[in-house]
Amino acid sequence: MSWDEPVAKKPAAFDLGADLSALSVKELEEYIALLAGERDRVEAVLAAKRASQNAAHSIFKS
């Protein structure tokens, strides 16, 4: 490998569906933690939207 050859860089962020084979064990653990946090965030938004939807249905259900 010479100095003028481009060096393969790891992605700055994780992408869903991306090839995971180049990631280390630590990076895979970090990715799992990131996904778990994102899942919690989505579930919280979903719960809020369902509560809002249920409130609207109870108001207009007469």
pLDDT score of 1 more than 60: no
Residue 11 has pLDDT above 80, yes or no: no
Can you tell me the distance from the alpha carbon of 44 to that of 57, in angstroms, rounded to the nearest whole number? 20
Looking at residue 36, what is its pLDDT? 96
Q: pLDDT class for 62, splitting at 50, 70, 90?
A: low
Stretch 10-33: mean pLDDT, rounded?
86
Question: Residues near 34 by Cβ (< 8 Å), separated by ≥ 6?
Answer: 14
Report pLDDT digits (tens) over 38-54: 999 999 999 999 999 99
Q: Which pTM value belongs to this model?
A: 0.66
Average pLDDT for the chain: 86
